[in-house]
Structure formats: C-alpha cells, structure tokens
Amino acid sequence: MAHQALKKVESDGLDEDEQSQLEEDMDSVHILPLSIIPLQTPSLRRARLIKNVRLESVVELFRDASGASGQIETSELANTFGWPKGGKHPDERVIAALCDLHSFDVYSLRIQLRKLGIRTEQSNMLKLSDNKVTDLMQFMNVFTMPLLTQIYNTAEAGVDNMDQLIQKFTSPDKLEALENLKLMANKLHIELHDVPNFLEEYADIYLSIAYGKDCLNTLIPQIMMFEESMEELTENYELRNDARLMRSIDYIKDSITDVTASVVSRFENFDRESETMWEEITAESFNQVKKMIRSHHVSVGAILCGLSVKMNGWHHNLAAGRGLVRRADFIRSDMMQGMEKINGIEEVVQRQQQQAPTWESFTVEKVD
C-alpha cells in the first residue's frame, strides 16, 4: 500500500527524519500533524496538535531529541502570531474546531474532518503508514479467512493477507484474474465492476478494527501496571488517610475498568456481526456491518485516545523516578483532569445503545 501522499510531502521539503516522524504521527491516536491541514500560517504547518495528559488539545511547536516539548495553548495563538482579535483569522477558527475532536486517529479524522468541512492537503493522507499496516496484518487473518472460504470454499488459496488477496484479482494472468472477479461477483451478488471497490472497502474497514485492537492490546498491560502502582499508594500509611486522594484513585480505576470493558465488548460484537454476515454474504449485508463499524469509529477512537494519553502520562511519571507524594499529586491533578471527558463519551454510548440495541448508528458530540 504505497503512501503517495507522504511521498508528495517529502518531495515538498521534508527530509528523511521528518518524513519518518510524519508517518509515526499519522499512526497515532493523539497527534495531528498540522502539515496535512490547509493552514495559512507557515510555522503552524510544521507544528502538531497533540492531546496532553489532561486531554487538552495544545499546539506543539517543536520537540527535540531529548523529548523536551515546546507547547502553546491554543488560546495564545492569536497573540503569538499577531492574528486579529475575536477569532477572525481563518487558522484560529480551524484550530479551534480541531481542538474539540476527541481523537486524532486516521479513522476518526476521516469522519470528523468531513463533518467540519476541512479538507486535508492530499485526499489520501488519512491512511496508516506502510509499517503500521504490516504490523496489523497479524490481526487480519481472522477477516481474510471467511472471505477466502466463501469465495473458494477453502481457506487454503495461497493467500496470507489482504494484499495477496487483492493481487488475485489484479494478477498479470488476465484470464485468471477475470475468473476470480467473476467468482467473487457471483458470490456477493454484485456487478463485476464493483468487486475492486468491495475489496478495498473490506480491507479498510477491517484494518480499522485491527488498528483498534492493536491499541487496546498495548493499553491492557499498561492499565494492569497502573492498577498495581495504585496499590502502592493505597497501602501507604500516610496517603491512605487522604480521603480526596483515595476517592480520586477509586474514580480513575472504576472509570478505566468500565470504558475498557465497553471497548472490548464492542470489538467482540464486531467479530460476531462479521461472522453472521458471512452466513449469507451480499453487498447489502456487508454494507450493514460496515455502517455499524464506522458508526463506532469516533467513540472507540475517543476512548482509546483518552486511555492512551492517560497511561502514557502515568508511565512517564513513573519513569521520572518520582516518589509516592509526587505521584499522589499527579493523580489528584493531571490524572483526574479530563477523566470526566472519557466518562462522558461512554455515557453517550450507553444511552444510545439503549435506544439502538442492535448497534445501529451512534454519534459522539462534544463532551464538555
């Protein structure tokens, strides 16, 4: 999967390190490289919009090799760049809209930027890097096997991943490729010319699930380590008498447990719905599952982003070698700040699930 957009950006002035950083940023849930957004202010185009540990969106103007980060609150951008007061500069309005997004993963961005009417510099920028796609192939077999079984009546078709599957329909042997296309069109009850589009959408929709599962798999051991480190605080004689701290710890732990269980449950539901789809696969049944999965991109991305930022912040705090008292201060301030946003997103999902128990279209609006 060639990243033509990234290559275009590289030809426009990015060196190899900057190119690598851009690809890494595009794979992240909490970083939005502003180079892909049509902004008028040149220095902003080299900056990044990031979520800090309090889940606030801030502009990172630079980050050096030691990890030092030059950040500025978005409310200070007008003063910094000499923009007119009152939010009249177009860049200020765009940044303000982007700050309200709960996650910067590519799948949420595709939906949210379209709603905001913001176009990226290149239409195909909102993709994962080639390296990330390769990493995610370990999750894709569960989605390629049903497809192969349905089309070829076997899972042994000389195909290990979606790229190889697509190659079977674009192979140099035109006669073989045509036969494969006809076979799939017949199985799916779609027109022959619609097969390539189906394959592209199928690969992308399940790559998004693989991406989410990969994020979740990274988070779970971090969450377990976080809970263990909380025991050290609650068992400390002096700190356990701090009622505010204990309430904060309980609130954070309960919140993380609940939202993690919710995301796990949704991934399990995606898998079940996908299995059911293949019992009688048609273009319509696939579109129903596709709509269901895409309707959850924003809420799942928001929770994964929030948890990732919180866990990264906590583990960076531990890596700094801070003592129990300073860790407790971090819990009361940075860890508590923003947790209500994660809970607010989950509350919206739960309300909508009660209204649409069949996992139909969910939306997540701004959570204050």
Instruction: Name beta bridge partners: 69.
Output: 63
What are 175-206's pLDDT values in tens digits? 877 787 787 788 788 888 888 788 888 888 98
Whether 226 is covered by a domain: the verdict is yes
> How wide is the angle at C-alpha 56 spanned by C-alphas 51 and 58, nearest 5°?
65
For residue 107, give Cα distances in angstroms to 174, 210, 222, 295: 34, 12, 23, 11
Of 52, 87, 116, the one marking the end of a domain is 116
Residue of higher predicted confidence among 361 and 246 = 246
Residues 69 and 150 in one domain: no
Whether 304 is covered by a domain: the verdict is yes
Residues 273 and 193 in one domain: yes
pLDDT value, residue 89: 93
**CA–CA dist 152, 355 (Å, integer):** 40
Whether 350 is covered by a domain: the verdict is yes
Whether 175 is covered by a domain: the verdict is yes
Look up the domain containing 140 and give its range. Answer: 128-368
Residues 155 and 24 in one domain: no
Residues 68 and 109 in one domain: yes
Residues 136 and 263 in one domain: yes
What are 125-181's pLDDT values in tens digits? 899 998 998 888 878 777 777 777 776 665 555 566 667 767 766 665 678 777 877
pLDDT value, residue 158: 56
Residues 56 and 202 in one domain: no
Residues 225 and 331 in one domain: yes
Answer whether residue 74 shows pLDDT above 70: yes
Residues 47 and 180 in one domain: no
Whether 168 is covered by a domain: the verdict is yes
What are 300-344's pLDDT values in tens digits? 999 999 999 999 999 988 877 788 999 999 999 999 999 999 999
Residues 6 or more apart whose CB falls under 8 angstroms from that of 83 comprise 77, 89, 91, 92
pLDDT value, residue 5: 33
Residues 102 and 134 in one domain: no
Overall number of domains in the chain: 2
How far the first Cα of the chain sits from its last, in Å, is 38
For residue 329, give Cα distances in angstroms to 136, 254, 333, 334: 37, 19, 6, 8
Residues 150 and 246 in one domain: yes
Sheet holding 57-63, edge to edge: 31-33, 48-51, 57-63, 69-73
pLDDT value, residue 332: 94
**CA–CA dist 182, 147 (Å, integer):** 15
pLDDT value, residue 3: 34
Whether 123 is covered by a domain: the verdict is no
Residues 140 and 263 in one domain: yes
Whether 96 is covered by a domain: the verdict is yes
Of 50, 83, 116, the one marking the end of a domain is 116
Whether 122 is covered by a domain: the verdict is no
Query: What are the tokens at 359?
Result: 């996992």
